[in-house]
Chain A
Amino acid sequence: METDFEPKIIAFVCNWCTYAGADLAGTSRLKYAGNVRVIKVPCTGRIDFMFLVRAFEQGADAVLVSGCHPGDCHYNEGNYYARRRWTIFRKLLHFLGIEEDRLHFAWVSAAEGQKWADLVNEVTARVRELGPFTGYRQLMEKSRLTQSAEVQPLERK
């Protein structure tokens, strides 16, 4: 495995809990892995699964989704709907052959700066072990090929 591999992890976090938690980690000057790019959304209920697909298309090695603990959602129920969605969506990706460690879910409250820092460290370590997401990258590279002048004939089984 390449030793200088730095995982690129995209985190979709809700505005009210996890973003504030991550902010707290920052203001508390906690040191943690710098591999996560945070994208703030209003609520975990707002995270369409297409966000995750797009993250992988854009070269993410893993995706992290985090929001308020059950019962704490700013919109009361968003995270309950989200939880149902992820329960099935992660299984679909698993069935398609995406390793489970490329998808992480967590509840991090505004007070849990330390949990956020530990979470990012843990996810980064796991993805580092897994290596880059070459599967999706190959898909993208191949697509550029077919998009170029040399269109590859598709063979029927």
Chain B
Amino acid sequence: MIEQLRAKAKEILEKGDASVIIGYGRGSREDVATPVFITDSARIDEMVFNPHCYNNLMTFVTRDDHKRLGTPAVVAKECDMKAAIVLAQEDQVKEDGMLLLSVSCEEMGRADAACRFNGVMTIPQAEEWLKQNYLPAELTPEKLARVEEIEKMPAQERWAFWSKEFERCIRCYACRQACPMCYCRQCIVEKNQPQWLSTSAHPAGNMAWNIVRAFHLAGRCVDCGECERACPMDIPLVSLNRAIQKEVKSAFDYVSGYDHAGKPVMATFRKDDEEDFIK
């Protein structure tokens, strides 16, 4: 499949449909891959794709230093495609502002897993493809198993559980850096006029930070899991994200990453939204 992927990428560059390929290259070890930015088709053989290509490359398309490289064609797994769709939905990229080199991997991390190249897609095409091929894999019982386990704990036990998890946070913000949806030029945690949350890595500051990170992604997180994978302290951020995804789905029947032309779910309303919790 890599030959197909390289051939398409080369063609795109040579035809001028995109001016940079954002893809994966060989990492420093067998089991890691590293992002590559290719503007010259002679370098196309640097591209690889395998079950170790974890990074969500959509983190790059909103950064100024990469924007300067011009229209990108980005190698994208399913979650990365969803990220592109949310970026278009939130006006961070134009609907026709990038091409997607759609790829799939049977099981990330398993060295012998089969990988596929699905073709070149625009953002609207990717949306159609995902609706056909990936929507049924969202919020499955397996994906929600851990969330439900945590929900079953009594409130105080849950509080103790999360306090303990967040206590380990060292405020490195790797979770934010790895996240394709965290594209703010200045994050609220770095604003000090006024300072909303403490930047010290103490239990209260960490609680506030983790609430902010999770809630700023409400209805936007595409469940790529990169935050948790980046976290050096192994804090179960995916469970937190999925708990919110579950609520967004049940309250507003919405899964993020499938509506590039619609309004973001938390930036709109319906007059008849449920309000049984309001007195």
Contact = CB atoms under 8 A, between A and B. Distances in A.
Interface in A97-121: 97-99, 104-107, 119
Contacts of B265: 84
A147 B271 contact: no
Contacts of B233: 156
Interface stretch (A2-10, A24-32, A34-42, A50-58): A50-58
Given A86-B277, A142-B202, A80 B247 contact: no
B163 A84 contact: no
B275 interface: yes
Interface of B: 147, 150-151, 153, 155-163, 167-168, 170, 188, 196-198, 200-205, 207-208, 211-212, 214-215, 218-219, 233-234, 240, 243-244, 247-248, 251-252, 265-271, 273-275, 277-279
B167 A107 contact: no
Which of B202, B248, B273 has the most chain A CB within a 10 Å cutoff?
Answer: B202
Contact of A53 (B159, B200, B208, B273): B208
B240 to A, nearest CB: 7
Interface string A116-152: 0001001000000000000110111011001100000
B202 A57 contact: no
Given A57-B208, A95-B240, A95-B243, A154 B167 contact: yes
Contacts, number: 139
Nearest to A133: B159
Interface residues of A, number: 46
Interface string A47-84: 00110011001000000000000110000010011011
Chain B binding surface SS class? helix
A143 B204 contact: yes
B247 A84 contact: no
B158 A96 contact: yes
A157 B161 CA distance: 13
Given A50-B197, A54-B196, A140 B204 contact: yes
Nearest to B160: A97
B204 A85 contact: no
A92 B214 contact: yes
B158 A80 contact: no
